[in-house]
C-alpha cells in the first residue's frame, strides 16, 4: 500500500496537469470504486467543477474543487493515478476516469479494486479520526511523548495505527524503528525521554527521505508518469530478511506482529527492554 511519501509524490506530480482544469465527464466500470455518493449523483455534482488544489492528508489524496466540494481518493493496495491524453490506450485495470476539459483524463488504475473515491463538502469531518501529520511543525517531540503515554501496545503495530500517527505504514515503521534502535515489540510506554526524541527524529527522517527519493517502488507502486521511485534502494531493514545489517553485519530478521511483518536487526534493536504484554507469545517465534 502506498504510504505517506508515495502519496505525497503522487500529489506533487498531479498538481501541474490538474489545477485549473474542469471535469467534463466521469467514466466508471467498477461501481464500488465510488464510495459516495452513487455514480450518477457524483457525475452530476462534479460536472464542470474545476480543480483548485491537490493536497494530501495521511494516505488520502484531496482534490479541492471550485464548487466547494472535495474529491477524496484512497489508493489502498494497488491504486495508481495518472493524467493522460484521451487517445492514449487505457490500461485494462483503469476502472475510473475523470475526463478533463483539455482532452486529457485523470485515470484511476486499480488492479485489486480496493481503492475508493468519494465527493464530500466536509473533508475535515470525514478525516477527523486521523492522527497528526508526522512532518508537520505541530508534530513535536512533546506531541509524540503525550501520545505514547499510557500505551502498552508494541511499537510497530502502534505506528501503523492511523489514529495514532497519520501516513506511516509497514515500510517506514520498520525503517524508523531501525534508526531509533528500538525493537518492534517494545512496549510504547517503556520508552525513555531520550528514546522518544530519537524515535521522533527517525520517523521524520525516513518519511522525508522517502519523499526526496519519490517513494519506494516495491510491489505495484510507481509514480504518476510510470517511472519508479528510488526509496527501495535506501531501505535498511524492510524486506531485507537474512541480509546483513548495514551497521553491524548481523542478519536482518523478520517476525509477525498482529498479522503484519516486522523487519529488524537483532543486534541494533535488542529485546532487553520491556516487551508489550500482548506480544510476549510472539516474542518466541
Q: Which of 3, 6, 69, 105 is catalytic?
A: 3
Active site residue 6: no
Query: Which single residue is written with the C-alpha cell 510506554?
Result: 189
3 catalytic, yes or no?
yes
Burial class of residue 257 (count of CB atoms within 10 Å of its CB; 0-12, 13-18, 19+): buried
**What kind and span of H or E run contains 39?**
helix 39-46
Residue of 6, 8, 17, 59 with catalytic role: 59
Active site residue 181: no
C-alpha to C-alpha distance for 27 and 250, rounded to whole angstroms = 52
**Which of 21, 213, 254, 260 is flagged as catalytic?**
260
Clarify whether 59 is annotated catalytic: yes
Of 116, 20, 110, nearest to 60 (Cα)? Answer: 116
Distance between CA atoms of residues 215 and 3, nearest Å: 8
CA distances from 129 to 161, 181, 192, 225 (A): 11, 29, 28, 32
**Grid coordinates in use for 94?**
483503469
Alpha-carbon Rg for the chain in angstroms: 20
Q: List active site positions.
A: 2-3, 59, 260
Amino acid at each position: 500500500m502506498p504510504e505517506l511519501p508515495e502519496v505525497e509524490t503522487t500529489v506533487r506530480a498531479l498538481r501541474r496537469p490538474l489545477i485549473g482544469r474542469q471535469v467534463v465527464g466521469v467514466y466508471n466500470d467498477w461501481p464500488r470504486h465510488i464510495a459516495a455518493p452513487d455514480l450518477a449523483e457524483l457525475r452530476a455534482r462534479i460536472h464542470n467543477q474545476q480543480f483548485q488544489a491537490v493536497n494530501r492528508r495521511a494516505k488520502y489524496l484531496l482534490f479541492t474543487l471550485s464548487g466547494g466540494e472535495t474529491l477524496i481518493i484512497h489508493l489502498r493496495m494497488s491504486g495508481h493515478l495518472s493524467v493522460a491524453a484521451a487517445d492514449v490506450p487505457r490500461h485494462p485495470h483503469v476502472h475510473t476516469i475523470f475526463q478533463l476539459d483539455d482532452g486529457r483524463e485523470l485515470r484511476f488504475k486499480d488492479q485489486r479494486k480496493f481503492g475508493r473515491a468519494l465527493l464530500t463538502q466536509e473533508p475535515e469531518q470525514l478525516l477527523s479520526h486521523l492522527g497528526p501529520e508526522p512532518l508537520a511543525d505541530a508534530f513535536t517531540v512533546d506531541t509524540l511523548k503525550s501520545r505514547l503515554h499510557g500505551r502498552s501496545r508494541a511499537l510497530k503495530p502502534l505506528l501503523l495505527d492511523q489514529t495514532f500517527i497519520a501516513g506511516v505504514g509497514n515500510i517506514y515503521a520498520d525503517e524508523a524503528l531501525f534508526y531509533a534502535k528500538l525493537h518492534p515489540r517494545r512496549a510504547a510506554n517503556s520508552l525513555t525521554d531520550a528514546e522518544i526524541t530519537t524515535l521522533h527524529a527517525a520517523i521524520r527522517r525516513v518519511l522525508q527521505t522517502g519523499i526526496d527519493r519519490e517513494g519506494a517502488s516495491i510491489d505495484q507502486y510507481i509514480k504518476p508518469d510510470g517511472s519508479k521511485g528510488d526509496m527501495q534502494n535506501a531501505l535498511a531493514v524492510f524486506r531485507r530478511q537474512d541480509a546483513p545489517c548495514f551497521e553491524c553485519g548481523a542478519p536482518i530478521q523478520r517476525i509477525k506482529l498482529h498479522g503484519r511483518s516486522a523487519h529488524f536487526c537483532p543486534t541494533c534493536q535488542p529485546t532487553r527492554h520491556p516487551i508489550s504484554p500482548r506480544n510476549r507469545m510472539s516474542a518466541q517465534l
